[in-house]
A and B are shown apart, each in its own frame.
Chain A
Amino acid sequence: MVTSTLGGLRAACGDVTEAGADDTVDGVPARWVAWPGSNEEVSAVLRAAAELGLRSVARGTGSRLAWGAPPTALDLIVDTSRMGAVLAHAAGDLVVTVQAGLRMADLQDALAPHRQRLALDNGDTAGGPVAGGTVGDTAGGTVGGTIATAASGPLRYRYGSVRDLLIGITVVLADGTLTRSGGTVVKNVAGYDLGKLYTGSLGTLGVITEAVFRLHPLPEASRWITVPASDAERAAAAIAAIRASQLDPVALEVDRAAPGAPVTVGVAVEGVAGGIGTRADAVADLLGEAAGASAAVTEQPPGWWGRPPHPPQGPAAVITCEPTGLADLLTTGLGALRGSAGAGVLIAGLDDGDRLGAQLAQLRGIATRHGGSAVLRCAPPHRRTGLDVWGPVPALALMRRLKDQFDPEHRLAPGRFVGGI
């Protein structure tokens, strides 16, 4: 049986291997790994997998496979590492088309000589071309993984998150259908914007094979302005002062090690060399006054900038709240809190111990008071048992119907997403 299944997969995709010890998804072992080299091979191997009754999960470098819930069943990993090309960079149009297996850091490296970037600085590229060096996850995530997990960073305050920068996408559905939506121009309202649905879907709707992004110019100059506020109230006041200003920062971040610890507020500004100093000083004045402490201006980001406040396996949660809820969250919220105060999306590094569930519940309580949510991003599998990973999910019935339309037999990443989708 095993041999014939492998044979069936190999007939569809030239490179299929038996899974090794490391070929697991969040602790769940796979049986085979396919290494397709083209859209057509992804399509063929998923069609074969469907015919063989297999459950599949897509994988880039695997740096965020711990996010979401573990799959309820797994046979095949579809690895995109042979699909890592920049297919087209239309520099004059500020658009790039890439394969899903391309590493984010490599994408930024390809764009930088053109003085352009994808304005997305998740852990893969935090401080990348801007700060002059790649940091973050050791493996460095891919384009496909970035889309599937909607992983963004400090720049989201000004440029939006993955959903806002993705203008076209190619996906293979569970039945092997190769399908595109969007296009290669920024301004385009033809048809449904399915890219939004695939973004953050943890691979439950299809396997992403190509993406088209809008790009932004690399700024001529950047400055980071940070201030250590003695308490959460002062930090929140500093954040509110920046929001109300006309200084147009690109990032508005916060970092707090533990409840009661000082709260660092960080702001990034970008622009022309001739004007950056004036703006940075104005930000520093505003921050310093509101926080009651002296703000520092630097030409490099602080060490914590854009780095998740947790080990790759977690435990960690994503906490969202309305801007006016920040003081409450920063005062009482458990764990290490860091992230985009500007966008109202923080990451909480939590205890790898028995208190995890209580911490998550406490944070969910605060977030809910302020219009937000608390989602367990990742945790060692044994810690997750019995925990409500997602919390309340509005419109879940519609989401189930959507899943049933795209993947009626639940062959892709089963159980990884909200409501057991």
Chain B
Amino acid sequence: MGAGLELLAAEFSALLGRAAVITDRQRLRTYECDGLAQYRVVPGLVVLPESAEQIAAVVRACAAAGVPFVARGSGTGLSGGALPHAEGVLIVTSRMRRIQEVDPANERAVVEPGVVNLDVTKAVAPQGWYFAPDPSSQQICSVGGNVAENSGGAHCLKYGFTTHHVLGVEVVTPDGELVWLGGTTRDVPGYDLLGAFVGSEGTLGIATKIVVRLLREPESVRCLLAAFPGVDEAGAAVSKIIADGVIPAAIEMMDALAIEAAEAAVACGYPGGAGAVLIVELDGPVAEVEHTFTAVHRHCTDASAFEIRVARDAAQRALFWRGRKSAFAAVGRISPDYIVQDGVIPRTVLPEVLRRIAELSAGTGVRVANVFHAGDGNLHPLVLFDETKPGEAQAAEEVSGAILDLCIAYGGSITGEHGVGMDKARYMPRMFTDEDLDTMQRLRCAFDPAGVCNPGKVFPTPRLCGEVPGRHKGVHPLQAAGLAEQF
């Protein structure tokens, strides 16, 4: 540890107490990566604050010393957004897990940033409310992380992303000031700094308190699983559903290889011989859902579904979802290594892009399993390889990158929900012009002129050149420990 960090460590010990400051190399290694485990940097120093004031004090000290800092919630991010800085301070919010206020009459809860996503819903479910963003890691990911990444989830097709479900955040700015962005009501006077902050991947400050919106639980939820000969037919069914004016709560698709992996991993018992399956979920008032569900069923039949199962109850619904929710990890059963990609295309070009991905796969011999949020065109191709075989890792990286290029070429995005982070900063210039990126920097400079707040993320810097895209080796430790699922 450098002399500057040693001074800071002493200062933090005085501020936060010895137990809240980690300097031991072995313990620091616990925090060397987030959910994207192939990027590893041991942080210079870790602090475990318990209050907004403590975070503000830590940030002020960092700013004064010109030392970079990175915030981390549960560390489940998939783009390296919480990757530590070797010469910097990692501010971990895991001791800030208080739900400070639950107020269904005002349709809101106030939580600390370390509160686990699902715990918000658990706290309000007895009263019939829930917190809508449902990233696959919701059993472990933090609301602070959701704010940083603007997390989505399977149900964001209908309900939107974190940005639609946060009314206000108390933030420590990169110079250590505590300010509120937004509040407890909408249309707060002035620029919508809250809207800019949500999804800024920890580069504009650290959320220390979050006012989340609560939604009333739907009266009815209906779910079906439809098996199709191939992805073209399943894609056609999605188009028919959307064209009919239906916005389901979720429409998820898996192709044959993804189904094979899921069967191997969790024996989800999907219909045999399916080239693709769709899971379609509708929710809302009974009078609405019953009519719409019948129409969805018909559209699947018309699009050549050869088997349709309708969930009888919550247990069967969970069974339908199990295969889908296990898909990422399940790929570990059919391939030693894999890259989880996250790209977006306009939904209508889905069949065409899938054909192009299949061509890429055939041309390179790299297998690609496809899992996606079909309703909004958010693809999660799983690019399979075996690192022990020469050239396979390189080939997989090239295919993964080519898929992102396809997303851009078809007018989509390089990330739908995992974020840019460390992993995709170098792809940003393919999606945005220099002027676009410079304009984003103007926002950055308003908040963080010294560039100390999560530097090196989102925007390309020379330091990132030549780094490898996201790669997963087997099952993530959090999954192995039963702590997390991945979508």
Contact = CB atoms under 8 A, between A and B. Distances in A.
Contacts of A372: 184-185
A119 B25 CA distance: 54
A160 interface: yes
A323 B106 contact: yes
Interface stretch (B66-74, B269-277, B280-288): B280-288
Interface string A388-421: 0011011110110110111000000000011100
A155 to B, nearest CB: 14
Contacts, number: 262
B191 A197 contact: yes
A90 B436 CA distance: 24
Interface in A169-186: 171, 173, 177-181, 183-186
B376 A405 contact: no
A371 B190 contact: no
Contact of B373 (A187, A196, A217): A187
A330 to B, nearest CB: 16
A320 B180 contact: no
A399 B193 contact: yes
Contacts of B243: 92
Given A178-B435, A183-B412, A115 B245 contact: yes
A217 B158 CA distance: 12
Contact of B192 (A189, A197, A240): A197
A163 interface: yes
Residue from B190, B192, B247 whose CB has the most chain A CB atoms within 10 Å: B190
B285 A279 contact: yes
Contacts of B196: 192-194, 196-197
B195 A272 contact: no
B376 A404 contact: no
A41 to B, nearest CB: 17
B179 A243 contact: no
A217 B246 contact: yes
A303 interface: no
Contacts of A298: none
Contacts of A183: 411-413, 431
Contacts of A150: 187
A323 to B, nearest CB: 5
B345 interface: yes
Nearest to B195: A196
Contacts of A188: 344, 412-413, 415-416
A217 B439 contact: no
Given A161-B186, A191-B458, A390-B189, A92 B415 contact: no
Interface residues on A, range: 35 or more
Nearest to A323: B106
Contacts of A391: 189
A322 interface: yes
Interface stretch (B390-398, B442-450, B479-487): B442-450
Given A197-B191, A199-B192, A246-B218, A177 B413 contact: no
Given A178-B435, A185-B412, A402 B191 contact: yes
Nearest to A201: B191
A213 to B, nearest CB: 14
A375 interface: yes
B186 A344 contact: yes
B420 A190 contact: yes
B199 interface: yes
A48 interface: no
A247 interface: yes
Interface in B170-187: 173, 179-181, 183-187
B247 A216 contact: yes
B443 A402 contact: yes
13 contacts: A179-B438, A185-B413, A190-B428, A192-B196, A192-B200, A192-B443, A200-B191, A271-B287, A275-B290, A320-B187, A320-B188, A402-B191, A418-B191
Interface of B: 104-107, 128, 149-150, 152, 156, 160-161, 163-164, 173, 179-181, 183-196, 198-200, 216-219, 239, 242-243, 245-247, 284-285, 287-288, 290-292, 344-348, 373, 376-378, 411-420, 424, 428, 431-433, 435-440, 442-447, 458
Given A163-B195, A196-B192, A216-B247, 16 more contacts: A92-B242, A93-B377, A185-B346, A185-B412, A188-B413, A190-B414, A192-B444, A217-B247, A246-B219, A272-B291, A393-B189, A395-B179, A395-B180, A395-B193, A396-B190, A398-B193
Which 10 pairs, one residue from A and one from B, show the smallest C-beta to C-beta distance?
Answer: A196-B195, A217-B245, A275-B287, A246-B219, A92-B348, A371-B184, A188-B413, A405-B442, A401-B446, A179-B439
